[in-house]
Structure formats: structure tokens, C-alpha cells
Amino acid sequence: MTESPDERQGTVREVFLAFLKLGLTSFGGPVAHLGFFQTVFVRERQWLDGRAYAELIALCQFLPGPASSQVGMAIGLHRAGPGGALAAWFAFTAPSALLMIVAGLTLSGTDLSQHAGLLQGLKAAAVGVVAWAIWGMARSLTPDFRRLTIAALACLLAVFVPTVLGQLSGIVLGAALAHWLVPESDTTAGGGLRLAIGRRGAVLAGALFITGLLGLPLLAGLGSQMAVTVLDSMYRAGALVFGGGHVVLPLLHAETVQTGMISSDSFLAGYGLAQAMPGPLFSFSGLIGSSAGGVGMGLLAVVAIFLPGSLLVLAILPFWERVRGNQRVRRLLGGVNAAVVGILAAAFYDPVMTAGLSQGRDLIVALAIIAALAWGRVPVWMLIMLAAVAGSLFL
């Protein structure tokens, strides 16, 4: 029998420590992060129930920005108010952001080809971690053949139209098919979220989001200061990319390499390194900023790329809580949830599998990771380290 969610108001310290552990150990990108969040906050800590968590995932997939980080902020907001939201973001992001800033300062003097085996071992491990995370989500969000059909169609759309258009089309398709393929008996709303922010706060957050999106390009056009250029580029990337993670690569490449902010070699090497780091892939912005202008610029880039997605979460959640109990909305959400599984499966195929499985030994590492995760006795961070060692020795 499933236990009821913990209804107590938590503390900022509690949220910070929980997300810091995840920020240090959550390898595998946004797909894996969502699986880790479900394990930690739904099953183990029981801060919210499974249906409420599924709602958050579907909602954040509709919003531009780093989806897993947005879900994490919403969980922090629910548990400990605005301070909890900030603590969740900072603790989950800081480890990888600091590592990427340091990498940006040292990358130009490092020959990453000497560590190709280690990096490949980490990529192979990511295949196993992400595959296990998707399996866990699929069991809860696509429990029957009809919703599995929605997931399959959304996956095909995302694979054959590998752009934001493909992802959004998959989500729209899931919503359109929900009336016929999502059982009405499965439209019970999950437990509500505690939100220490009202309509006024939501409207203010939305106004700030629009001000940044429209005002920063104008400000950047008035001068050539690097700080304003970095702020504008990173904010626009965070505001216009749906799904987060690997999807942000083309836009960041256009905003940085094509404008001469950093070299193409540094960009590609740094992105490969980012995939081997725990925490959100948007932390890659720290490497771009520090490569362009040092530690301060790296910190500015990290804040700028996460800011628009954070503002959108604060702007949307209070209004979402008012409509989430509607039966039609619930059924649409069930279709969207199923479509999200398909979209995540497409992201698993490319780029996670295509980058992580270059030879047969990579597949052995990935399968070993899956088996170990199914066994449940070895922590994820240890599996990642073992995969890195195996890559250094054998790949």
C-alpha cells in the first residue's frame, strides 16, 4: 500500500542537503534526473505523491528551459517556500557549474584526447543510467497499451523531426489523443502543492521574464560590453529552448561560437566534458562564460541561462493549481505524460545512445550498469566511477 505524502512544511536546510546529494551524484542528463527525483522525493522522502510529480513533469515539458531543474525548483517551493526553491536550484546546480567554470579556465591547456577512454566510459554509463530512469517513468506514466501507443507515436515524431517542432508536435499529439486513449478512471488529481507565492508574485515573475527576453537584446545592441553580451546570449538560450539538456546545444553554438565568443574546439570539447558531469547540462554555460571572461563571467552565464526558466515556473504554478482538478485538464495531462515518455525515449536514442555506444564494450558497460541498478545495492555515483575506470583501462 502506498503511504501518504509527508504533509509537513520542510526546512530550507533539508531541501538544500537533499538536492546537494543529487547535484553531486546525478549523472546521465535530464532524463535520468527526473528518474532520480521520483525515487528520492516520491518513493523515499514522500514529499509529494506520484500523480502530483507526474503533473509537474508534464507541465515543465510545456515550458522552455531546463525541465529537470524546473521540476526540482517546484519541489523545493512546495517543501520550503521560495527559500526552498532557491536552495533546490543552487544545491543541484552548484557542483557541476563550479566544475564547468574551472574547466573553462583550464580547457585551452588540456589535451582531452589523452582521456578519451575515461570520457567514453562515462558516456556508456550514462546510457545505462538513462535507460533505467526511462523504464521507471514508463511503468508509471504508460501503464497500458493505449498510453504506450501515444508514447510510441511521440517518440517517432521526435526522432524523425529532431527539432523543437518535433517535441512540441509530440506533446500536442498526446493531448489530442488523450480523449480516446486515456481512461477516465485514471484522471484523479494528485495531491496539491504548497505554494508560498500568489497571483501577484506570479504576475511579477512573468513580467520579469518578458522584460528580460525583450529588453536584453536592446541593451546588448547599445554597447559591446562582454558581460551584457553573455547575459543576453545565455538568457535567450534559456528562454527559447524546450526540454533543456542536449537540446540547447545548437542554440548555444549559434550564440557563442558563431559570434566569436569562444572557439569551436573549446565548445565541442567542453560539451563532451559536460556530459560526464553530474547535475544539469545547462551548467555547460559556466564553461562558456569562464572561457570568454573568467570566473565572474562564468557565474553570470550560469545565472542567466537558468533565470528565465525559473521565472516561468514561479509565473505558471499558482495558476496551474487552480485548474489542475478539472477532469478535461486531467485527461489531457495523462496524454501529455505519455507523450513525454516517448520524447524522453527519443532523447535517449539521440544523443545518449549514439554518443555512448560506439563499440561493443560500451554496450557491456551499459548493460552492467542496468543490472547493478536493478539489483539496487550499489550507489549510482560508485557505478559511474567504476565505468570511468573501465573506460580508462579497456575502451
Per-residue pLDDT of the chain (395 residues; tens, 9 = 90+): 445 676 677 899 999 999 999 999 887 777 788 888 999 999 999 999 888 898 888 788 777 788 889 999 999 999 999 999 999 999 999 999 999 999 888 865 566 566 678 778 877 887 887 788 788 778 878 989 999 999 999 999 988 987 667 877 888 899 899 989 988 765 555 566 777 777 888 899 999 999 998 888 888 777 668 888 889 889 988 886 665 565 566 567 667 776 777 776 677 667 667 767 888 888 989 998 998 888 999 999 999 999 999 999 999 888 877 777 677 877 887 888 788 788 878 878 876 788 778 888 889 988 998 899 888 777 777 887 788 788 888 76
pLDDT at residue 213, rounded to an integer: 85
- What distance in Å separates the CA atoms of residue 394 and residue 385, rounded to the nearest whole number? 14
pLDDT at residue 15, rounded to an integer: 96
pLDDT at residue 10, rounded to an integer: 84
pLDDT at residue 173, rounded to an integer: 93
Task: State pTM to two decimals.
Answer: 0.73
Cell 559536460 -> residue: 274
Among candidates 273, 327, 311, which has minimal Cα distance to 197?
A: 311
Dihedral sign for Cα atoms in the order 104, 108, 114, 120: positive
Taking CA atoms, 298 is separated from 77, 82, 231, in Å, by: 26, 25, 10
Q: Is 242 helix (H, G, I), strand (E, B) or coil?
A: strand
pLDDT at residue 92, rounded to an integer: 96
- What distance in Å separates the CA atoms of residue 35 and residue 241, rounded to the nearest whole number? 21
pLDDT at residue 1, rounded to an integer: 41
- What distance in Å separates the CA atoms of residue 328 and residue 347, rounded to the nearest whole number? 29
Check if the beta carbon of residue 240 is closer than 8 Å to that of residue 64.
Answer: yes
Cell 497500458 -> residue: 144
Q: Is 64 helix (H, G, I), strand (E, B) or coil?
A: strand
pLDDT at residue 157, rounded to an integer: 92
